[in-house]
Amino acid sequence: MLYIKAPAKINLTLDVLYKRPDNYHEVDMIMTTIDLSDRIGLEASQDGLIKIISADRFVPSDERNFAYQAAKLLQDTYGIKEGVSITIDKEIPIAAGLAGGSSDAAATLRGLNELWNLNLTIDELAELGAQIGSDVPFCVYGGTARATGRGEKIEELPAPPNCWIVLAKPKIGVSTADVYGGLQLDNVAHPDTAKAIAAIASKDYSALCTSLGNVLESVTLKLHPEVSMIKEQMYRLGADAVLMSGSGPTVFGLVDSEARIARIYNGLRGFCDEVYTVRLLGERNTLA
């Protein structure tokens, strides 16, 4: 069995420029991976079948699973006759704005490249991944990147300044399509992406904290007031900066002192079931 880590991402910035004729939105965002990961196990089989095994009943076990789609795409594109059993140990909350499904697909692409001896480059894997979802190319590379286009054009960035991340996920699932669909671009505050990139380049933690922004908050916070409540609570408990990740509803806070982490974590546990303290991974994935 080959095991691969599939880390979650957060969006440090998420700007939407305009709606495109293909119904996607042109985005400009900074994403970075965190050490909250699913674990993907891959076992080759000779029957040609793709099987999904997961103890989590919310993980689709058929062709709706993005990891299934990744394996099928490789089989169809390269005429692979082998099959694979894909075991997904789910740690990343589902439909949370953390790209769990996309990361499972990306890890499956990286792992099957090795298991099926395909010898594809990481750029080729990322290009294939774009056929599965807009966040998959970023997840193939991992690390920290600016993503443009519909999210599939990836430009590597250096690791952000060292800090802790507190994540809190309210008990609601959010549909990415619904959130983009509800966006009204004439009345949103756009993040300063260039300032955030400069802050990352110079490892300036304070400047990074003041340059976070996500235009999708304008939609999700209106639909789900509990997300605003969690943001306020995180600020009150002492986080240096707080933002919703992706289309939500997960909220993350940046903290640069270990001493404050326990207070924020414990304070949030009072009224939110799913709270995590994680580190930024910063650097890119190795190929497998």
Ligand X SMILES: C[C@@](CO)(OP(=O)(O)O)[C@H](O)COP(=O)(O)OP(=O)(O)OC[C@H]1O[C@@H](n2ccc(N)nc2=O)[C@H](O)[C@@H]1O
Ligand Y SMILES: Nc1ncnc2c1ncn2[C@@H]1O[C@H](COP(=O)(O)OP(=O)(O)O)[C@@H](O)[C@H]1O
| Count of CA atoms in the C-beta half-sphere (13 A) of 107 | 25
Least distance (Å) between residue 238 CB and ligand X: 26
- The amino acid at residue 82 is E
CA–CA separation, 48 and 87 (whole Å): 16
Binding-site residue positions for ATP:
93-103
Q: Which positions from 243 through 282 interact with ligand X, judged by CB under 6 A?
A: 246-247
Are the beta carbons of 120 and 61 closer than 8 angstroms?
Answer: no
Q: Which residue, chain included where needed, has tokens 């894909």?
A: 86
SS (H, E, C) 204-231: CHHHHHCCCEECCHHHHHHHCHHHHHHH
Categorise residue 86: left if φ over 0, alpha if ψ from -120 to 50, beta otherwise.
Answer: beta
From the list 69-77, 112-120, 175-183, 200-208, the region that binds ligand X by CB under 6 A is 175-183
Active site residue 9: yes
| Contact (CB, 8 A) for 44 and 82 | yes
Cis peptide before 191 (omega within 30 of 0): no
Cβ atoms 95, 111 nearer than 8 A: no
Total chain residues near ligand Y (CB under 6 A): 20
Which residue in the list 28, 38, 104, 135 is annotated as catalytic?
A: 135
Q: Any catalytic annotation for residue 15?
A: no
106 is a contact residue toward ligand Y (CB under 6 A): no
Which residue in the set 16, 98, 165, 268 belongs to the binding site for ligand Y (CB under 6 A)?
Answer: 98
* Only segment of 77-85, 97-105, 162-170, 203-211 that touches ligand X (CB under 6 A): 97-105
Cα separation, 167 vs 11, whole angstroms: 12
Site track for ligand Y across 29-68, x = CB under 6 A: ------------------------------xx---xxxx-
Selection from ligand X, ligand Y, none that 59 binds (CB < 5 to 8 A by kind) is ligand Y
Kindly state the smallest distance separating residue 68's Cβ from ligand Y, in Å: 8
Q: How many residues are listed for the chain in this entry?
A: 288
The smaller minimum CB distance to ligand Y, of residues 213 and 246, is found at 246
Q: Which of 99, 105, 221, 264 binds ligand X (CB under 6 A)?
A: 99
Of 28, 30, 32, 101, the one binding ligand Y (CB under 6 A) is 101
Contact 194, 201 (CB under 8 A): no
Q: Which of 7, 30, 73, 97 is the binder for ligand X (CB under 6 A)?
A: 97
> How many CB atoms are located within 10 Å of the residue 12 CB?
30
Among residues 29, 32, 97, 122, the one that binds ligand Y under rule CB under 6 A: 97
One residue of 96, 128, 209, 251 binding ligand Y per CB under 6 A = 96
Question: Hey, how many other C-beta atoms are within 10 angstroms of the C-beta on 258?
Answer: 9
Q: What whole-number distance in Å separates Cα of residue 167 and Cα of residue 98?
A: 10
* Contact set with ligand Y (CB under 6 A): 59-60, 64-67, 88, 94-102, 104, 176, 246-247
* Contact set with ligand X (CB under 6 A): 11, 14, 24-25, 27, 97, 99, 102, 133-135, 150-151, 176-177, 180, 246-247
Active site residues: 9, 135
